Structure 1
């Protein structure tokens, strides 16, 4: 074979390779182009499906930005949009049919511009129910700061020799209503770390930071109890209640305390025990180490899952003239007084066990148990300060620290030395109050404000005066305000929508503003708004304090519009149609969250 033919053969064999390489390049180019086009298309579709959500769960993200391209708005455009919004809100009120047989006070305003979007009787003072809680919680932050820690301390004025306290110890409370048994164990652990092995004297309870008027309906001057609350005290634990469990002849006090004496009569273990319902963990306030600045309000998993979902508003149904049926969740809400959940019920299925309680001359609580079978009963602490002192004594003994004396009451001496301290953040307490509308805890915040201002006597009166003084200092008029308690259970409390929006607006401009806002429940996510405004732009956006009493409903808070503008609103309704009031609140909240200048202009052009 000649070199010429070899060269020709080589050229022939290389030609197809060049062709395949060119074909491959063209194919890959087409694939790349298609991928780019698909990517752009998918991004456009997905972006179109994502709704404009305003605020979410803690911590709050940046407000949403409007994605529609619209011409620059003029003052006339803004005016027309707000006029259309006012017409929409008035239409919602008219359709509800409640204005004829009830009293309304409503205001909706812009946080950024201080412009009134809508108002109806804004200066009418009505019973606000649990939206009252906004005022003592605001005052607590303003007076003490959002980073304030509520302490519970153990002191002694006796010498300590070779690990032995040669005298008494004093347990002093400063108004923390969230203490639980694990917190008492932490106090004991701190005492043990000091090398203390014995206490020769007594364990004294000091609850003198608050006055001795422990019943809300008494210090508020209320004519009715409305809701029976445990004593409001500066020193207590476990929400000032405890459980008595009787099972197969054995009696247990939960949490444990040396201040409770059990008297048994005729108990028998012969009968098979009925299953005991133990105190729900959800009813116990989880304690955290004092080093943490803020504690979670709701379960993290549920809050995150709900907040992360992009909510696409459902299409609005055509509204007829007939009133819509009241939502089942709203019906359930108004079956009982207030927004907070009911306390756990006692269980005694066979009614063969009798459990009663009384006090002895030493201030100890006596629990009398008789009968056969098993049962669980939830009782209120008669003297919460004595109970917790007994709990401390019990835990000291369980830790191997002997206690020679008994339990009693005494004021902590001025020269006493600090042995141990446990703290909870004020922000944690305020979050529990406002998110869950907890009346018991709210009264403690109210008294904490009064006591922190020097009201160790007549704490309730000092609380009212201090709240009003703080409001006045922040430019909020107090002439028409009436506040008699911290929970809003008292019907003599009076506030207007104007005053409530002024407080909410002022809070945003203060250092504790974000903590205060985060304490409110989030629509469709947590607290008393968990089941409201689901599937709308208000879900994971609107934050507010609810209010519910017989013939009273209220909703006050914040919501972002679709343009990312933050609006402040307050709706207070007094009258017989509580369910319909709450329906109206939902619709107004949804309308606020769905508002957009662009949409309003389209409707008016």
Structure 2
């Protein structure tokens, strides 16, 4: 599929001709006598030196679009932790296997009889399939459809059918000790609002602090003991973090206490609470009651019986929109739900990580992409067991750009200086607006992977992983690499090393546990 517009980023200009990859393809070189340099640009070397990162901890690949022979390669075949750039593997595979228009379905079933007042004498079942973006604005659609079916009240149980994901995918240990951090929330077939509460705090000169929370939970109560003060805003504002306690009677108490200086201004804090089942049930019932519905039963998990009648179906956003959220904002939980969905779609539910790994491996083989050193665990990059060589990531980016899902895939990546995780980077540099880059950050890991349109109209694939205790300080080196590529990398003969591609070393690590 030839590129029919100027060599610019897809989000910068809209083509009016035939659909095409988001980055211009370079002509493939026939019988290439290609030279590969392993010498990094001086500004990149300086950034690494300032961060005290040795070259042995760095992996870099730069290629022209359409030509998989690198013009710059350092430790290209070394398996590295990619952090959140691993989401590129999951989202490209997901778009290709499921299709950009794929939608998750969340369904409601009734089992029992209804009286003249619309009260269901029986159970209401909610069956999930892993919708990654079942937020209040989406779940209300299901509630309204249930009400339109004639059900006004439920005097049986609210039963959640979560069989789409295997039970082994539940109650996974958090990645780190920050157990209430939303990024640590695991996958679930009935993932609701990322299982996190967002508290908005607004101090007033009269000494009060207003607290708003989203989403509403039927069992949540807020104890507001905050005092707005006139003191300076200094240090950590511990008052904005609530103490959340699940009470024996089912009530969830969120207590705020302490001084809140007015000068600190409005603050928002996001906290992951409860388990998925309790969180979804509380969120559903809050919307149900807000719509005028009544409920006098209990909540539990269980399978939809064959005798139950389907009363409503909600279809979530299309996968292309989901992938945009995953890559722009690096949402781990959404990526993990997509990862498991891939396995369920190919091998049938219940979803397991093993099924997803097999499905992605098969897709990669069919796409002539290397998998020898690819290690997947949850597909989000929030893992110490996920690895991929930079040269393999570059191959994937080349394949994605030449694929039927190229436009959707590239559109999903953050744009340097514009949006997503790159919105505050390179804002004052010429590369601003000219690079679609997925970022990745873990303790001891910095990563970038994506596309750069250079100043001369040539487009490049750029991948770099840093795995080192000083990786956090090396962001400037990655920024310098992107700036260098934008300026139009040219390889002088004095910098050229051997012409062959770096050969991947034998991977000393087994595939990560799944």
Residue matched to 2:301: 409
Contact 2:38 2:73 in 1 (8 A): no
Structure with the greater alpha carbon radius of gyration: 1
The answer on 1:274 being equivalent to 2:227 is yes
Q: Deviations over 1:516-548 (max 9, x none)?
A: 111110111111111222344422111111112
| Cα gap change, 1:561 to 1:251, in 2 (>3 Å) | closer
CA distance in 2, matches of 1:371, 1:579: 34
For residue 390 of structure 1, the aligned residue among 264, 277, 282 is: 282
1:338-357 alignment runs, 5 A limit: 347=239, 355-357=243-245
Q: Does the 8 Å CA contact 1:217/1:225 hold for their aligned counterparts?
A: no
Query: Given the superposition, is the C-alpha separation of residues 531 and 155 from structure 1 closer, same or farther in structure 2, using an over 3 Å criterion?
Result: same
59 and 511 in structure 1: CA distance in 2 versus 1, 3 angstrom threshold: farther
Structure 1 position 216, deviation (Å) = 4.7
Q: Which residue of 2 aligns with 1:199?
A: 154
Match of 2:170 among 193, 197, 214: 214
Superposed displacement of residue 365, structure 1: 5.3
Deviation at 1:114, TM superposition (A): 3.6
Structure 2 residue 117 is matched with structure 1 residue 117: no
Shift of 1:437: 1.6
| Alpha-carbon spacing, 1:379–1:106, altered in 2? closer, same or farther (3 Å) | closer
Greater helix fraction, Structure 1 or Structure 2: 1
* Conserved 8 A contact 2:79-2:387: yes
2:465 is the alignment partner of 1:572: yes
Alignment of 1:54 onto 2:1 = no
Superposition deviation, residue 379 in structure 1: 4.7
Say if 1:447 and 1:59 are closer, same or farther in 2 by CA, change over 3 A: farther
The TM-score with structure 1 as length reference comes to 0.65
Alpha carbons 1:53, 1:540 under 8 Å: kept: no
The superposition leaves residues 328-349 of structure 1 with CA deviations (integer Å, 9 ceiling, x where unpaired) of xxxxxxxxxxxxxxxx987359
From 551, 563, 588, the counterpart of 2:444? 551
Unaligned ranges ≥5, structure 1: 1-51, 66-72, 277-343
Q: 2:107 maps to which residue? A: 153
Q: Deviations over 1:432-457 (max 9, x none)?
A: 12111222322222223233344645
Counterpart secondary structure, 2:239: coil
Structure 2: how far apart are the matches of 1:107 and 1:372? 51
1:252 deviates by: 8.3
Q: Does structure 2 retain, via aligned residues, the 8 Å contact 1:140–1:449?
A: yes
Q: Classify 1:520/1:249 alpha carbon distance in 2 versus 1 (closer, same or farther; 3 Å).
A: closer
Query: Against the structure 1 CA distance between its residues 274 and 176, is the aligned structure 2 distance closer, same or farther, given a 3 Å change threshold?
Result: farther
After the TM superposition, which residues 411-450 of structure 1 pair with which residues of structure 2 at under 5 Å, given as runs? Answer: 411-422=303-314, 423-450=316-343
Structure 1 residue aligned with 2:508? none
Q: Is 1:136 aligned to 2:108, yes or no?
A: no
> 1:545 is paired with a residue of what secondary structure?
strand
* Structure 2 contact 341–351 (Cα < 8 Å) conserved: no
Q: Bigger CA drift: 483-492 or 207-216?
A: 207-216
Cα distance in 2 for partners of 1:386, 1:191 equals 20
Could you tell me which residue of structure 2 aligns to residue 464 of structure 1?
A: 357
Seen in structure 2, the aligned counterparts of structure 1 residues 547 and 391 have a Cα distance that, compared at 3 Å, is closer
Question: Residues 97 and 559 from structure 1, CA distance in 2 versus in 1: closer, same or farther, beyond 3 angstroms?
Answer: closer
The answer to whether structure 1 residue 483 and structure 2 residue 376 are counterparts is yes
Match of 1:319 in 2: none
Change (3 A) 1:275 1:168: farther
Determine if contact 1:249/1:372 at 8 Å carries over to the other structure: no
Superposed counterparts of 1:447-526, under 5 Å: 447-454=340-347, 456-457=349-350, 459-526=352-419
Looking at structure 2, the residues matched to 373 and 595 of structure 1 have their Cα atoms a distance apart, in angstroms, of: 54
Moved runs in structure 1, 4+ residues, more than 6 A? 62-65, 244-253, 370-377
Q: How many residues align?
A: 453
Judged with a 3 Å threshold, the aligned counterparts in structure 2 of structure 1 residues 473 and 225 are, in CA distance, closer, same or farther, namely farther
Find the aligned partners of 1:64 and 1:552 in 2 and give their Cα distance. Answer: 28
Q: How far is the alpha carbon of 1:505 from its aligned partner? A: 1.0
| Alignment of 1:175 onto 2:117 | no
- Cα separation, partners in 2 of 1:256 and 1:575, compared to 1, 3 Å: closer
RMSD: 4.1
* TM-score normalised over the length of structure 2: 0.75
Residue of structure 1 aligned with 2:273, choices 381, 384, 391:
381
Moved more, 369-378 or 152-161: 369-378
**Corresponding residue of 1:238:** 193
Once the two structures are TM-superposed, the CA of residue 360 in structure 1 deviates from its matched residue by 4.3
Per-residue CA shift, 1:354-404, capped at 9, x if unaligned? 84413649xx45437698999998653322223322332333333233334
Supply the distance in 1 between the matched residues of 2:431 and 2:348 (Cα, whole angstroms): 41
Pair 382,359 (structure 1): closer, same or farther in 2 beyond 3 Å: farther
- What CA distance in whole angstroms lies between the structure 2 residues aligned with 1:506 and 1:143? 14
Asked if the contact 1:149–1:426 (Cα under 8 Å) also holds between the matched residues in 2, the reply is: yes
